[in-house]
Structure 1
Amino acid sequence: MILVTGASGNVGGAVLTTLIAAGAAVRASSRSPRPGQFSDEGEVVSLDLDAPETFPHALDGVDKVFLYARPETAADFAAAARDAGVEHVVVLSSASVISASTGSDPIAEQHRAVEKAVQESGLDWTFVRPGYYASNMLRWQSIRTRRELRTAFPNAVSSPVHERDIAEVAAASLLDDTQRGKAHAVLGPGPSTVRQQVAVIAHALDEAVDLVEIDTDTYRTELLTQLPPFVVDRVIEAQGNMPMLPAGLAADAVESLLGRPPLTIETWAQDHVQDFR
């Protein structure tokens, strides 16, 4: 039995779907599961990663886990998993742990803490380390409501990673025991600008979308309605550019593990076109 934490999220939901398609026995979890929320082909359990008292029941009879962990309770979860007889945990981590220097990036430090907790528990592990999530573009709901995107940095560059790439690498790691003890980077199809990404979404919609360039102070104010201040500060400092790993620092696992190229932003936009209707 494989427990999928965060099964109601973009990545966790895609992991669940991929595992079910592969014929695996799965148990979906969320804080408050709703009737009909998940596929009838697996079990459903209530699990709150901020509440260790919910861990034992969710882990009962589980052999493997896809873990979207909280740094604050990662050690507690790993201990509960070990005590329940879990053999292997696949951790949704971050590519930031590869390149960020110690203490320089709060997000990297949070993921390092989770990786360390799982390693120190004695459980077998695999780390899946995605770069910049394409699903961050779902914050651009002004495209849906006004067919426009306001930004101070229209030429900022990122390499958006489709959640299906992350999920399929995670599922392959859960189903293939030779992946234990490995760390897999998932880095996306390559760089594109905000301007190009908006054009791709517009093409998927088959409608025009205006890109409105605004001043940095206005942009900061608008971002603060969506993101924590420390994240907004980093975005402004980097002029909207999202970190990408230097060539040679890590290989993308999609091609080596799945035998295909990373999914494009065009594919992501088509998959999510209804989110912008």
Structure 2
Amino acid sequence: MPDTTGPTGPARRSSILVTGAAGNLGREVVARLRARGARVRGLVRDQGGPRPGAEWAVGDLTDPAAMRAALAGVDAVFLIWPLLDSAPAQDMVAELGAAAPRVVYLSSTAIDDRAVRQSDPIVQVHADMEALLREAGLRPVVLRSDTLASNARGWAPQVRAGDVVSGPEIARTAVVDERDVADAAAAALLGHHDRHEPYLLTGPEVLSRADQVALLGAALGRRLRFRAVTADLARSRMLADGRPERLVEALVAASLRRPESDRVTDHVERLTGRPAGTFARWAVDHAAEFG
């Protein structure tokens, strides 16, 4: 729990803005901050019905007036940038600079700090955002996350329909439980971290998509298998599902260009005090979502 007492009585609780607060990760971050006694303001694009348990601000990261209002009285910000272009972030970064909160930015372990250009548009925008925040003098705490386990939720319709999950093959990575990322984010937001280098948040083992599907099958008591499809077929399927064309092209580029990584770190444990959980554990805990 954060210290809520001072030499003359109760101290003001930390007030934290969580962007992307309605998403898979944002919801987890909000829950953890509230459990640790912080005042939480969640930024969402629309109210979407009752959202108990926190203060909610409705607005868009690209709207300077909305950001100014959301940042009022805030000590720290958990920032998730949702667009495939960093240019619209200029005004948002200016508002952050004026408000001067501590910023914890969710980035990607796929960034290659030695490269002039990154492997694909998704990684490039993360590298651009890190640079924007640094150049604005915000000294962000950067959490570079590996592939989130929650991405597997996208397979649920296929799992319900049969025993084969098909999709583009993507480089093997140390898949990380989004709950661990949320714990790390809460620790970074509430603690005093002056680390200049990014934290690299990974799970404990490197997995392919076939590995993940098999582990999900084990949690369900089924023999699931993964079938790789071509980039062209993956593109046509995603477009048919209604995904925006620019996002589809970025996802296809990631499947084709992003290199494999065998990196496994202890940075989750450094921030949270406990080791990162396994994808197998995540699959057991979320098995009901695939039934």
Normalised by the size of structure 1, how large is the TM-score? 0.84
In terms of mean alpha carbon deviation, does 167-176 or 144-153 score higher?
144-153
Match of 1:91, SS state, is strand
User: Which residue in 2 is equivalent to 1:148?
Assistant: 164
Q: Tell me, yes or no, if structure 1 residue 276 matches structure 2 residue 279.
A: no
Q: Does 1:94 align with 2:108?
A: yes
> What's 1:59 paired with?
71
Gaps of 5+ in 2: 1-14
Pairing 1:46–2:58 present = yes
Whether 1:78 and 2:93 are equivalent positions in the alignment is yes
Deviations along 1:1-50, one digit per CA (max 9) or x if unpaired, are: 1000000111111111111111111111100022323x42x211112113
Relative distance call for 1:152 and 1:122 in structure 2 (3 A) is closer
Give the 3 Å change call, closer, same or farther, for CA 63–223 of structure 1 in structure 2.
same
Using a 3 Å threshold, how does the CA distance of structure 1 residues 146 and 259 change in structure 2: closer, same or farther?
same
Q: CA deviation at 1:215?
A: 6.5
Closer/same/farther in 2, CA of residues 43 and 150 from structure 1, 3 Å limit: same
Q: 1:158–1:193: 8 Å Cα contact kept in structure 2?
A: yes
How many corresponding residue pairs?
Answer: 267
Residue correspondence of structure 1 range 256-267 to structure 2 within 5 A: 256-267=270-281
Number of the residue aligned with 2:16: 2
Contact 2:171–2:255 (8 Å) recurs in 1:
no
Q: Please give the root-mean-square deviation of Cα atoms over the aligned residues, in Å.
A: 2.6
Conservation of the 8 A alpha-carbon contact between 1:18 and 1:171: yes
What does 1:1-277 align with in structure 2 at a 5 Å threshold? 1-37=15-51, 39-40=52-53, 42-69=54-81, 70=83, 71-84=86-99, 86-98=100-112, 101-105=115-119, 106-140=121-155, 141-151=157-167, 157-179=172-194, 181-212=196-227, 218=233, 221-222=236-237, 225=240, 228-236=248-256, 243-244=260-261, 251-277=265-291
* 1:102 partner SS: coil
Shift of 1:78: 2.2
Of 67-76 and 160-169, deviating more is 67-76
CA contact (8 A) 1:126 1:181 kept: yes
How many Å apart are 1:160 and its aligned residue? 1.2
CA distance in structure 2 between the aligned counterparts of 1:19 and 1:45, rounded to whole angstroms: 16
Contact (CA 8 Å) 2:234, 2:252: kept in 1 or not? no
Structure-2 separation of matches of 1:55 and 1:209 = 45
C-alpha deviation, 1:219, in angstroms: 5.1
Q: Deviations over 1:68-100 (max 9, x none)?
A: 12423333222212323x330101111122456
2:275 alignment partner, SS class: coil
Greater shift after overlay, 69-78 or 205-214? 205-214
Q: Is the 8 A contact 1:75 1:118 kept in 2?
A: no
Cα displacement (A) at 1:133: 1.9
Structure 1 residues 74 and 180 mapped into 2: Cα distance closer, same or farther (>3 Å)? farther
> 1:10, 1:187 → 2: CA distance?
17
CA distance in 2, matches of 1:149, 1:15: 29
Question: CA, structure 1 residues 94+212, in 2 after alignment: closer, same or farther (shift >3 Å)?
Answer: closer
Where do 5+ consecutive residues of structure 1 fail to align? none
